[in-house]
Chains A and B, each alone.
Chain A
Amino acid sequence: MSPEGSPAIEARGLTKRYGKLLAVDSIDFDISDGEIFGFLGPNGAGKTTTVMMLTTFLEPTAGTIRIHGHDLPRESLEARALMGIVPEESNIYTELTAEGNLRFAGKVYRMPRKARKQRARELLEIFGLSDRAHVKAQEFSRGMRRRLTVAMALIHNPKILFLDEPIAGLDVQSARYIKTLVRDLNESGVTVFLTTHQIEVASELCHRVAIIDHGRIATIGTPDELKTSIESVQTVAVTFDAPEGDGIPSLAGLPGVNHEVKSGNGRRLYTDSPADVIPAVVNFSREHGLRIIGLNTLGPSLEDVFLKITGQEVGSVTASSEGEGKRGGKRGKGGMAG
């Protein structure tokens, strides 16, 4: 029985050492019941190791973990009964049917026969797999396997759901489906611990985000708090009607521009003072006979926060990794079309 009001997850001084390598260095955090918590970090930062310790897969070298008040590893069986785990790689039994997978998961979680049969049917319906219930999972597409993996994690109505890269490699439809599902689950009271490389996903879904780097939590807060913490990083995004490669000179030398990044047929100019850069850009376009078709000022994204905290230069992201229109639309402070 979990103590009333205790956090869903409590980690204190959590440390993991692999020989001489310190993978996780005495981290502390609490995750409230009913929260969607994002856990971000570059490769090798200690993200996976932390999740493995929280899910009882790995024992910490030092520190304590409590899952709804249950101490790990002492009360790991009680804690595991409260968790649903969706790993990055879909780990279903391909020789079993979709329903067979769900029923087996129910048996392992000691659900009574009638309850697991009913819950399996319910989940097949929710995840749009009812018509494939008796088909072996080896014939499933990647998106269907992912849905079945999530369904298996939910068979016992867990209180905490661990999701590792839930939409990586999925088509747009499946990705949207999973994101909607995460929100719905959270609304029904499930705490979600989300590990992802896709910062936009964390920004979109999470109530709070932690960024781990070199085994330590570099920052923790709501996405807006984190963005505000590096408010000095601002961008002016300009788009010209000339196609890229038509000899548009560099704008890096304009007053106030710290860094320039090519982005489609436009440029992103990182600056501390957009007010100085905008007139300079307008003058630049007149001088070079270019017509501005879009001009936006943008605040820092969660990605900018991530890059700044993890020591990479802000604005060093290539244009292909970002959607200019989406970014402008989502976080634009002001804009004008020209």
Chain B
Amino acid sequence: MKRANFWSRTVGGLSQAWAIAAKDLRTYYFNPPMVMFGLIMPVLLFFSFSVRRGVGLSPQTGITHLMSMILFFTASTTGPVILILERRTRTLDRLMTAPLSMGCLLFGKTLVGVVFAVVVAVIPLIIGLAVFHINVHNPALLVGVIILSAMSFSALGVWFGSFPARSVGTVMMPSTLLRWPLLFVSGIFIPLERMPVWARIISHISPLTYAHDAVTHAVSGSGCQPAVLDVMLLPAFLILFLFMAVRLYRRVRRLGY
């Protein structure tokens, strides 16, 4: 009886989360901050730091870098944009007083980022396969890693968006300042083995490190650390960020904003 109740609540919660995600996908797919911070910025960064260097950058490596950056920026942009726009228009209040848990609500918001990021990240992959004829060493791993990475980055964005601000810029600026250093210590521009010790230590707290390493494993068949570790840590980041976001909302409910 208890088990049936648990499953019914879980399935109900997931269907509510998906309803929120589907609505957001229809509503925000062409929102200017989404296009700017989630699409244009990672492509510009890639051309600024990877292509311009032009030293030994094979199409395989280039596509790996670009996919990792798109997954990171696009997925982590949706949370701040959508949550804050909804807070401003008071539509978030509607969801916060509906019969769904905060975890389901925020998981729904996380799914939006996942779909956006996966759709955008697949574009360079298709170009890589069709134009540069790159080989993907482990396609199944790549699919799994893309989804897991998008989930953990999107949850990071949801955590950013959970700070009680009413303007996208208020959260987007500090979140960008936090995301950039992560980009530089995650082995995309400078390989981990060439980094100083302090930077390597910091790299371990960045989900991008594990996502990029896992994408490299899937595409090239080798990485800096075991692929199993990458694959296990990405969902852990998802849970951690969602937990922190739920805690933040509980605090907001207690203190008001």
Contacts and interface: CB of A to CB of B under 8 A. Distances in A.
A108 B16 contact: yes
A100 to B, nearest CB: 8
A55 interface: yes
A89 interface: yes
Contacts of A59: 253-254
Contacts of B139: none
Contact of B101 (A49, A77, A109, A152): A77
Interface in A59-113: 59, 77-78, 80-81, 83, 85, 87, 89, 91-96, 104-105, 107-110
A275 B254 CA distance: 56
A77 B19 CA distance: 17
A105 B99 CA distance: 11
Interface residues of A, number: 30
A110 B16 contact: yes
Contacts of A91: 89-91, 93-94
If over half of B's interface residues share one DSSP class (helix, strand or loop), that class is named, otherwise mixed; here it is helix
Contacts of A95: 26-27
Contact of B253 (A57, A85, A87, A104): A57
Nearest to A55: B97
A96 to B, nearest CB: 7
A94 B23 CA distance: 12
A59 B19 CA distance: 26
B254 A80 contact: no
B20 A108 contact: yes
B15 A77 contact: no
B16 A107 contact: yes
Contact of B19 (A16, A83, A93, A104): A104
B17 to A, nearest CB: 10
Interface in B1-21: 12, 15-16, 19-20
B91 A93 contact: yes
Contacts of B20: 108
Contact of A58 (B90, B95, B253): B253
A178 B207 CA distance: 52
Contact of B256 (A18, A55, A104, A108): A18
A18 B7 CA distance: 39
A83 B97 contact: yes
B231 interface: no
B256 A52 contact: yes
A55 B255 CA distance: 15
A258 interface: no
A80 B96 CA distance: 10
Interface in A16-71: 16, 18, 49, 52, 55-59
8 contacts: A18-B255, A85-B93, A89-B90, A94-B89, A104-B19, A107-B19, A109-B98, A110-B12
